[in-house]
Amino acid sequence: MKTINEFNFDGKRVLIRVDFNVPLDENFNVTDSNRIEAAKPTIDKVCADGGIAILVSHLGRPKGERNSKYSLEHIVSKASEILGKPVTFVHDCIGESVKDAVANAKKGDIILLENLRFYAEEEKGDETFAKDLGSIADFYINDAFGTAHRAHASTTIVAKFFPNDKCFGYLLAKEIESLDKVLHSKEKPVTAVLGGSKVSSKITIIENILDKIDHMVIGGGMAFTFIKALGGSIGNSLCEDDKLDLALDILKQAKEKNVTVHLPLDIVAADAFSADANTQIVNVNEIPDGWQGLDAGPKTLESLKPVILESKIILWNGPLGVFEIEKFANGTIQLGDFIAEATNNGTFSLVGGGDSVAAVKQFGLADKMSYVSTGGGAMLEMLEGRVLPGVKAIQD
């Protein structure tokens, strides 16, 4: 598979699928520009070579209808600022206005087309729409990891019209490489930290990675399903009662594959899910009735520190507690600090999944990790062992 560095885009019109699905405030100002910044190296390469960068993306869920609230026009000034040059906006993504804009563009220009999802054909993976989209370009780059798990017109179908003139952008290539490093590492030990609320949302990931890891840290709300399955008293803590047998089966499989499972030893229990709740530290299997576990306790964190520091590869997917409430954020912060220290000592750390990414950003840890994934759903599907349509379309 050729990388972007093996191509010269001089004089080429390059269709780049980016992920500019960024959050906006009530005045349509971009509140988090990470995704635009992440696409910059690919766009810079095309422009520096003397190509014309034609950017396509979706924004929000307009459900196949034009809605000014979801117009990509709102992000033009921020994109221009980050990319360091004016971005020409076109109020459509197919049709004559797009053809005219491309025809009038000069080498090194950047054009941003209107929200792809203003057309229902985008999400349907419509071939005619994809052909129209590709007709303005000589080359196709997919750099949108966040949508690589969707077989949409712009992420998958359009690639077939560029049989020999397509590649991954820097961002998408880096995402694949980082996940590959976790899933096929020769370095040991490999540790997966899985948190969040539900076991059910992580089952396929656990099943797929058990053969590839040495340690599995289970934290957050999902830990209580395991604790209850093992006979512990969990009070009012979150629990999937219909998954108790599954939890025991996961522990059995882990033992058979020599994977050490680390469950919480103690937790911060609260008498309400609230910032004003009363709290106490209790053993994880002795939570009183009326109380619920909302964060990892000190013994748990003490036991995890050496595991994290001795790991050569770490995957972090899910927080250890309700970090959004300051009172229950300590476990997630401490874990982040341990991973940051390990990373500083040469460990490869990959953070992915919405809550973990939000946590490392909130606590200023993102720059201390080896890689923070830009795609929640896409990353989870790769961890589950699935082939992403947007990735396969470039490899075919």
**pLDDT tens digit string along 135-187?**
999 999 999 988 898 899 999 999 999 999 999 999 999 999 998 888 888 89
The answer to whether residues 78 and 199 belong to one domain is: no
d(CA 383, CA 396): 21
Total domains present in the chain: 2
Q: Under a CB-based contact definition with an 8 Å cutoff, are residues 82 and 37 in contact?
A: yes
Using only C-alpha atoms, the chain has a radius of gyration, in whole angstroms, of: 23
Q: Under a CB-based contact definition with an 8 Å cutoff, are residues 160 and 104 in contact?
A: no
Sign, Cα dihedral of 125, 8, 179, 30 = negative
The answer to whether residues 123 and 22 belong to one domain is: yes
CATH of the domain at 85: 3.40.50.1260
Instruction: Please state the length of the chain.
Output: 396
The answer to whether residues 96 and 193 belong to one domain is: no
Q: Under a CB-based contact definition with an 8 Å cutoff, are residues 369 and 347 in contact?
A: no
Pairing, β 292-296 against β 266-270: antiparallel
pLDDT (0 to 100) of residue 320: 95
The answer to whether residues 62 and 40 belong to one domain is: yes
279-283, strands of its sheet edge to edge: 279-283, 266-270, 292-296
Is 330 a member of any domain?
yes
* Amino acid sitting at position 31: T
pLDDT (0 to 100) of residue 354: 62
The answer to whether residues 348 and 220 belong to one domain is: yes
The answer to whether residues 236 and 352 belong to one domain is: yes
The answer to whether residues 213 and 129 belong to one domain is: no
126 C-beta neighbours (distance < 10 Å), count:
17
Q: Which domain holds residue 81?
A: 4-173
The answer to whether residues 148 and 224 belong to one domain is: no
The answer to whether residues 288 and 321 belong to one domain is: yes
Which of 210, 213, 192 is CA-nearest to residue 317?
192
Is 61 a member of any domain?
yes
What residue ranges of the chain have pLDDT lower than 70? 1, 354
Is 120 a member of any domain?
yes
139-142, strands of its sheet edge to edge: 87-90, 110-113, 52-56, 13-17, 139-142, 166-168
Q: At which of 151, 173, 195 does a domain end?
A: 173
Is 391 a member of any domain?
no
CA distances from 202 to 150, 208, 246, 384 (A): 20, 10, 12, 9
pLDDT (0 to 100) of residue 396: 87
| The pTM of the whole model exceeds 0.95 | no
The answer to whether residues 144 and 225 belong to one domain is: no
Q: At which of 173, 200, 229 does a domain end?
A: 173
Q: At which of 112, 144, 173 does a domain end?
A: 173
Phi and psi dihedrals of 146, rounded to 5?
Answer: -60, -20
3-state secondary structure the chain: CCCHHHCCCCCCEEEEECCCCCCECCCCCECCCHHHHHHHHHHHHHHHHCCEEEEECCCCCCCCCCCHHHCHHHHHHHHHHHHCCCEEEECCCCCHHHHHHHHCCCCCCEEEECCHHHCHHHHHCCHHHHHHHHCCCCEEEECCHHHCCCCCCCCCHHHHHCCCCEEECHHHHHHHHHHHHHHCCCCCCEEEEECCCCCCCCHHHHHHHCCCCCEEEECHHHHHHHHHHCCCEECCCCCCHHHHHHHHHHHHHHHHCCCEEECCCEEEEECCCCCCCCEEEEECCEECCCCEEEEECHHHHHHHHHHHHHCCEEEEECCCCCCCCHHHCHHHHHHHHHHHHHHHCCCEEEECCHHHHHHHHHCCCHHHCCEECCCHHHHHHHHCCCCCHHHHHHHC
211 C-beta neighbours (distance < 10 Å), count:
10
Is 179 a member of any domain?
no
Is 259 a member of any domain?
yes
pLDDT (0 to 100) of residue 349: 96
pLDDT (0 to 100) of residue 77: 97
The answer to whether residues 196 and 110 belong to one domain is: no
Q: How many CA atoms lie within 13 A of 119 on its CB side?
A: 25
Is 395 a member of any domain?
no
The answer to whether residues 102 and 204 belong to one domain is: no
d(CA 109, CA 54): 8
Is 390 a member of any domain?
no
> Which residues does the annotation mark as catalytic?
35, 198, 354, 377
d(CA 205, CA 186): 20
